[in-house]
Structures are given as C-alpha cells and as structure tokens.
Structure 1
Amino acid sequence: MPQFNRRQRTLFGISFGSCLLAAVLLGAWLVGSDGLATQLSQRNLAPSFAHPFGTDWLGRDMLTRTLKGIRLSLGVGMLAALCSVVIALVLGMAAATMGRMADRVVTWLVDLFMSVPHLVTLILIAFTLGGGLKGVVVGVALTHWPNLTRIIRAEVMQLRAAEYVQISRQLGKSRWWIATRHLLPHLIPQLVVGLLLLFPHAILHESAVTFIGLGLSPHEPAIGIILSESMRYLSTGMWWLAFFPGLSLLLVVRIFDVLGENLRLLIDPRRAHDS
C-alpha cells in the first residue's frame, strides 16, 4: 500500500468534499419539489426502496426534504461565513495598520465577543432582528469573526516588518496601495482556511437557531425546522424523521471541518509533507 502525505490526503479530501457538495446540490435539483407535496395516503411510512428516508405525518418524502434542507443550510452557512470573513479581514487589517487606538478598539471588541458564548449572542441578535434569514445571517456573521481577526492581525503585523513593505513606504506608497498590493495577497490562504473552518460552525448554529424557532421560516425545508417538527413524533416510533436529516447534517459539517483543518496544516510549510 502506498503511503500518502498530508498534501495528497488533503487534495483527495478537497476532491471528495467538492464531489459531495456537487452531489447534494445536484440531488436537490433533480428530485424536484414533488416530494414536498402533501400526500396523506403515503404518511408515516418507514424507510423503503420507494422512500429511502421514509415519509412524515403529511406524506412528504423525507429524502427530498433532507436534500432541500441541506442545500438551504449550505447556502445560508456560506453567506454568513463570507460576511464573517469580510468583517474579520477589515477589522484585522485596521488593527494592524491604523495605529494604536484602532488596535485597542479592535482588541477590545474581540475580547468582548469572545467572553460570551457564540450561541447566546447569536440568539440575542436573531431575536432582536425578528428572526428569519436576515436574523440568522447577521447573527452568525457578527459572532464568528473574532478568532480569524486575531490571526489576520498577527499576520499583517508580521508582514509590516518585511523589507519590501518598508521600501514601498519609503517610496511614498499609500496605505491602501500597500494593503492591496502587498498585504492582501499574502492573506488569501488564511482567508480561505478561515472560511472553510467557519462554514461548518455557521451551518450548525443556523440549524440550532432555526430549531428553537428564531431562524428560518417554518415554511422552508430547513434542517433545523425538520428536526424541530420531528421531536413530537419520536415517541410514536417514527425515528427516521430525525435520524436521517440529523445524520446528513453531521456528515456534511464533519467533512468540511476536517477539510478546513487539513488545509490549515497544509499551508504550513513545516508540516505540508508530513505523513
């Protein structure tokens, strides 16, 4: 058996994760919306060949609902994670390039948000904004940036001492020119890794907030809504209502979490070829 180093395993993981994401999105598109229609004659059916994930109390196909819910969670999670990465980039660069006062303000904000659990702050923000897609996206974006902000701040401070940056300053280049030409290109790997690591957390927290009724609309086939609705039927033996959607969510989150962690180690030149 050939031995693969971390780079090869990570590239394989990227390929597998991309194929999985494409399969979920393609599957959600191929199944259409017929399985979401109410069919009382097909209600409460256990998993079978015709309905691999079973049906719910209204006869809706759980495989269709799960695929639609995963696709919705992926979209919301990606949007929220992207907003969080942008916040981290702006604050991290501001702390490292705009003087001591800006650094103190950003450090204080980071300490403030990290002193309170993410989920508590997320629930408060979502409740204040009235829930829905806006409440979830804004809540996740405003609660997941502190760790990445610290990383970007430290990276930019290290880059500021580089010789080519000092030469650009002596040549009279503006802060904006230095930031866009010298600093930002070196931050792209950290931003990509940060996005991949924030993505699964954003999906889980979106599902958690939706589960307690402060997230997406009940009319949307979101995983949090599916799990919340299935709780009242578990005591009747309809285990498949929560098992398959919950397992699908955990698998997707775990794959992207492992992918982000391996990619973080991959960009470290000292560990890129570890076995």
Structure 2
Amino acid sequence: MRQWNSRKTMVCFFVLSVAFLGAVTAAGYLFREKALVTDFSRKNLPPCFSYPFGTDWLGRDMFARTMTGLSMSIRVGLLAAVVSAGLAFLLGVLGAVMGRIADGFVTGLIDVVMGIPHILLLVLISFALGKGFKGVVIGISLTHWTSLARLIRGEVLQLKESQYIKIAEKLGQGKLNIAVRHMMPHLMPQLLVGLVLLFPHAILHEAGITFLGFGLSPEQPAIGIILSESMKYLAMGSWWLALFPGLFLAAVVLLFHLTGDILGRLLDPGRIHQ
C-alpha cells in the first residue's frame, strides 16, 4: 500500500482538492439564478431525488443555494487572501530590510492589529465600509495579514545573516535590489503556503460575520446567511436547512487546510516524510 506521505499521492490529492474547489466555484455561477427562484408549491421539502438538499420555507432549492453560497465564500476567501498575503509580504520585507525605524513601525502595527480580536475589528471595518462584498473583503484583508507578515519578517532577518547577502551588500547592491533578487526566491514557498492557509480563516470569518448580520446582504445566498436563517426552522424539524450547508462549509475549509499543508510539504523536501 502506498504511504500517504509519498510525493505522488500528495500531488494527486492536491490536484483533486483544487479540482473540487474549482467545481464548487463553477457550480455557484451556474446555479446563482436558480438559487433565487421561489416556489411555494415545493416549500419545506426534505431531501429527495429531485432536491438532494431539500427546499426551504420559500421553496428555494437548497442545493443551488448551498453551491452559490460556497462559491461566493471561495471568491471572498481568494480575493481577501491574495490582498492579505501581498500586504503581509510587503510589510514583512520592508520592516526587516529598511532599518530599525521601519521595522519598529511594522512590528508595532502588527502588535496593534493582533491585540484587537479579529471578529470585532472585522465587524467594525466591514460596517464602516457599508458591509457588502467589498466591505467584507477589505475587512478580512486588513485583519489577517499579521501572522504571515511576522513569519516573512523572521525569514528575512535570518537571510540577512547569510554569507551571500553580506557579500551582495559589500558589492554595493541596494537593499531593495537584494530583497528582490536574492531574498524573494527563498520567500516564495512561505508566501504561497501562507496564501493558501489564509483561505480557511477568510472563509470562516466571512461566514461568521455574515451569520451575525454584519457581512453580505440578506438578498445574497451566502453560507452565513443560509445558516442564520435556518436557525428559525430547526425546531420545526427542518434539519436539512443547516446540515448540508454546514457540512459543505466544513469540507471546503478542511480541504483548504489540507491543501496548504500538502503544498508546504511539496515545496519543502525536508517535510515530505513528516
């Protein structure tokens, strides 16, 4: 039997995970109009062949709503993770390369952001920007960069002690030139893994603040809205309204986490058999 930690197995799982997440995202686009269709003749139907996830109190197809909500969550997570990772990389490198003043500013900013609870700061930013898709993306981007920035800064400080970096400095190369030409290739694996691992945090926080009513608008079939609305009907026995969206949300978050872990192992040969 092939071991889980073999490179070929991990590559196959990575490809399958990316394909599944891509299929969910594409399904969300295909079903976004169907997710809004109401039909009172089929309301509160339990899972069946025609409606695998059942229907809600307005007769809306829960499978279509779940796929559309997950697709939106993945898009929010993707955009927020890219912006957040870019911000973390920029600040982490500048703080470690540009001297004590810049480093003190970056570390102080990291401490301030990390000192405020993520969900509270996210709600405040999202609410200040008028909620909606843009407010959620900006809020997540501005609250999730700190850990990766601290990691990048630590890596840069270690690289600065390397012999080839010191030789480049003695040859008269500028700090930014050294950072781009000599440090960036060593930082790309940490950046890519950190980018992927930001996805599950972004998705969960998007679902969390939307569940509380501070994220996306109620007209959009987001997972947080679906779960929040289903709470009113669980006592009536409509268990499918929360079960399937919740399970698929957990599956997407877990897949993102496993994908990030596998990517880290593939990019770091020393971890391949851990």
TM-score, length-normalised on structure 2? 0.94
In the other structure, the counterpart of 1:233 is 233
In the other structure, the counterpart of 1:108 is 108
In the other structure, the counterpart of 2:254 is 254
Answer whether contact 1:7 1:273 (CA < 8 A) is retained.
no
The residue type paired with residue 28 of structure 2 is: A
In structure 1, the residue corresponding to 2:46 is in which secondary structure?
Answer: coil
Cα distance change, pair 183–130 in 1 and its aligned pair in 2 (3 A): same
In structure 2, the residue corresponding to 1:172 is in which secondary structure?
Answer: coil
The residue type paired with residue 256 of structure 1 is: F
Cα distance change, pair 194–231 in 1 and its aligned pair in 2 (3 A): same
In the other structure, the counterpart of 1:219 is 219
In the other structure, the counterpart of 2:132 is 132
For 1:92-142, what per-residue CA distance to the aligned partner results, in whole angstroms no more than 9, with x for missing partners?
011110111111111112122222221122112222222111221111111
The residue type paired with residue 247 of structure 1 is: L
1:204 aligns to 2:204 (yes or no): yes
Answer whether contact 2:35 2:221 (CA < 8 A) is retained.
no
Answer whether contact 1:95 1:106 (CA < 8 A) is retained.
yes
The residue type paired with residue 58 of structure 1 is: L
The residue type paired with residue 20 of structure 1 is: F
Cα distance change, pair 154–32 in 1 and its aligned pair in 2 (3 A): closer
Cα distance change, pair 108–73 in 1 and its aligned pair in 2 (3 A): same
**How far is the alpha carbon of 1:4 from its aligned partner?**
4.0
The residue type paired with residue 49 of structure 1 is: F
1:80 aligns to 2:84 (yes or no): no
- Which piece of structure 1 moves more, 87-96 or 104-113? 104-113
The residue type paired with residue 109 of structure 2 is: L
**How far is the alpha carbon of 1:30 from its aligned partner?**
4.2
For 1:9-37, what per-residue CA distance to the aligned partner results, in whole angstroms no more than 9, with x for missing partners?
43232112112112213333444623431
In structure 1, the residue corresponding to 2:231 is in which secondary structure?
Answer: helix
For 1:32-91, what per-residue CA distance to the aligned partner results, in whole angstroms no more than 9, with x for missing partners?
623431111111111000000001111110000111111111001111111110111111
In structure 1, the residue corresponding to 2:271 is in which secondary structure?
Answer: coil
The residue type paired with residue 141 of structure 2 is: A
Task: Compute the RMSD of aligned alpha carbons.
Answer: 1.7
For the residues of structure 2 that align with 1:13 and 1:114, how far apart are their CA atoms? 33
For the residues of structure 1 that align with 2:233 and 2:5, how far apart are their CA atoms? 47
Kindly report which structure 2 residues correspond to 1:145-160, keeping only aligned pairs within 5 A, or say none.
145-160=145-160
In the other structure, the counterpart of 2:123 is 123
The residue type paired with residue 196 of structure 2 is: L
For the residues of structure 1 that align with 2:55 and 2:125, how far apart are their CA atoms? 35
In the other structure, the counterpart of 1:99 is 99
- Which piece of structure 1 moves more, 112-121 or 186-195? 112-121
In the other structure, the counterpart of 2:64 is 64
**How far is the alpha carbon of 1:215 from its aligned partner?**
0.6
In the other structure, the counterpart of 1:144 is 144
- Which piece of structure 1 moves more, 46-55 or 214-223? 214-223
For the residues of structure 1 that align with 2:149 and 2:71, how far apart are their CA atoms? 28
Equivalences, count? 274
In the other structure, the counterpart of 1:166 is 166
**How far is the alpha carbon of 1:174 from its aligned partner?**
2.3
For the residues of structure 2 that align with 1:132 and 1:4, how far apart are their CA atoms? 41
Answer whether contact 2:27 2:71 (CA < 8 A) is retained.
no
For the residues of structure 2 that align with 1:32 and 1:104, how far apart are their CA atoms? 47
1:34 aligns to 2:22 (yes or no): no
**How far is the alpha carbon of 1:264 from its aligned partner?**
2.8
Q: What fraction of aligned residue pairs are identical, expressed as a percent?
A: 52
For the residues of structure 1 that align with 2:85 and 2:106, how far apart are their CA atoms? 15
TM-score, length-normalised on structure 1? 0.93
Answer whether contact 2:35 2:65 (CA < 8 A) is retained.
yes
For the residues of structure 2 that align with 1:206 and 1:38, how far apart are their CA atoms? 26
In structure 2, the residue corresponding to 1:197 is in which secondary structure?
Answer: helix
The residue type paired with residue 138 of structure 1 is: I
Answer whether contact 1:230 1:241 (CA < 8 A) is retained.
yes
For the residues of structure 1 that align with 2:110 and 2:178, how far apart are their CA atoms? 25
For 1:206-260, what per-residue CA distance to the aligned partner results, in whole angstroms no more than 9, with x for missing partners?
0111111111111111111111111111111111111111111110001111221
For the residues of structure 2 that align with 1:255 and 1:172, how far apart are their CA atoms? 46
